[in-house]
Structure 1
Amino acid sequence: MADVNLNVGGTIFQTTTQTLTKFPDTKLGSLKKNFSMDNSPTTFFFDRNPDVFNSILDLYRTGELHFPSYFCGATIRNELKFWQIDKTYVSECCLESLYRYDDEMGILSEIKSLQEKKVLDIPEDECREGCPRDFLWRLLQYPETSRKASVFSVVYLFMVLLSTSVLFISTDPDLRQPIGSTENATSSNDKTLMYTHTSVPTSIWIIDISCGIFFTLEFFIRVMVTPQRWRHFFCCPLNVVDVIVITAFWMFNCMVHVGPVFLHRKTFSFLVMILASARLLQLCRFYRFMCRFSSFDVINLAARASVGKFGILIALFTLSNLFFGYLIYYVEFDQRDSFNNAFVGFWWAVVTMTTVGYGDIVPTFFLGRVVAMLCALTGILILAMPIAIVTSNFTLYYAKLKQYTMHRKESKQKENCKKKEKKKKKNLCKTVSPISVLSVKPIR
Structure 2
Amino acid sequence: MEGSKEKIILNIGGVRYETYSSTLQTFPGTKLCSLTEPHAPSIYDYDPATKEFFFDRSAEIFSYVLNYYRTKHFHCPIDICRSVLEEELAFWEINETQLASCCWLKLNNKEVQPEEFNIWDENEQTDDQCLIVQTERRDFSWRTRWQPKIWSVFEKPFSSFSAKCLALVSLLFIVGIVIIFCEETKAQFEFFTANFTSIGYSEVSHNDHEPYYHQPAYLLHLELFCVLWFTFELSVRFCFCPDKKLFFQNPLNMVDFLSLFPVYIELFVAGQIQRMPSLGLWLGFVRVVYLLKLLKISKLIETPLILRVLCYTLKSILREIFILLMILTFETLFFGSLFFYGELLGSHPSYTGELHFTDILVCFWWALITLTTVGYGDIIPLTTAGQVTAALAAVFGMLTIIIPIPIFLVKFKSYYDIAIFKQKLKRSKKL
Mapping of 1:56-205 within 5 angstroms?
Answer: 67=79, 70=82, 97=106, 103=112, 105-116=114-125, 117=127, 118-119=129-130, 121-123=132-134, 131-173=145-187, 189=201, 197-205=212-220
**What do the CA deviations read for 1:301-357 (whole angstroms, capped 9, x no partner)?**
232123222112111111111221111122212336244543332121012222333
Q: CA RMSD in A?
A: 4.4
Question: Aligned AA for 1:243?
Answer: F
Worse-matched range after superposition: 188-197 or 398-407: 188-197
Which residue matches 1:351?
Answer: 369
Matching of residue 307 in structure 1 with residue 321 in structure 2:
no
Please, which runs of 5 or more residues in structure 1 have no aligned partner? Answer: 1-8, 12-46, 53-65, 78-95, 414-444
Structure 1 position 138, deviation (Å) = 0.8
**What do the CA deviations read for 1:375-434 (whole angstroms, capped 9, x no partner)?**
123223323356555555444434433332332233234xxxxxxxxxxxxxxxxxxxxx
Which residue matches 2:241?
Answer: 226
Could you tell me whether the CA contact under 8 Å between 2:112 and 2:414 is conserved in 1? no
Larger radius of gyration: 1
- 1:384 is aligned, of 399, 402, 409, to 402
Which residue matches 1:328?
Answer: 339
Structure 1 position 220, deviation (Å) = 0.7
Which residue matches 2:271?
Answer: 258
Question: Aligned AA for 2:120?
Answer: I
Could you tell me whether the CA contact under 8 Å between 1:175 and 1:201 is conserved in 2? no
Which residue matches 2:36?
Answer: none
Q: Percent identity?
A: 22
Could you tell me whether the CA contact under 8 Å between 1:143 and 1:153 is conserved in 2? yes
Mapping of 1:395-410 within 5 angstroms?
Answer: 395-410=413-428
Which residue matches 1:211?
Answer: 226
Q: Distance in 2 between matches of 1:142 and 1:191?
A: 50
Q: Distance in 1 between matches of 2:256 and 2:266?
A: 15
Q: How many residues align?
A: 329
- 1:360 is aligned, of 378, 381, 401, to 378
Could you tell me whether the CA contact under 8 Å between 2:255 and 2:292 is conserved in 1? yes
Q: Distance in 1 between matches of 2:80 and 2:318?
A: 33
Could you tell me whether the CA contact under 8 Å between 1:73 and 1:99 is conserved in 2? no
2:242 is paired with a residue whose SS is coil
Worse-matched range after superposition: 324-333 or 121-130: 121-130
Could you tell me whether the CA contact under 8 Å between 2:187 and 2:214 is conserved in 1? no
Q: 1:189 to 1:222 in 2, by over 3 A?
A: same
Q: 1:193 to 1:352 in 2, by over 3 A?
A: farther
2:373 is paired with a residue whose SS is coil
Q: 1:373 to 1:252 in 2, by over 3 A?
A: farther
Could you tell me whether the CA contact under 8 Å between 2:262 and 2:283 is conserved in 1? yes
Matching of residue 289 in structure 1 with residue 289 in structure 2:
no
Q: Distance in 2 between matches of 1:124 and 1:239?
A: 21
Could you tell me whether the CA contact under 8 Å between 2:273 and 2:280 is conserved in 1? no
- Normalization by structure 2: what TM-score? 0.62
**What do the CA deviations read for 1:76-125 (whole angstroms, capped 9, x no partner)?**
79xxxxxxxxxxxxxxxxxx949966726334322112223335614398
Q: 1:359 to 1:254 in 2, by over 3 A?
A: farther
Structure 1 position 243, deviation (Å) = 1.9
Q: Distance in 2 between matches of 1:192 and 1:375?
A: 47
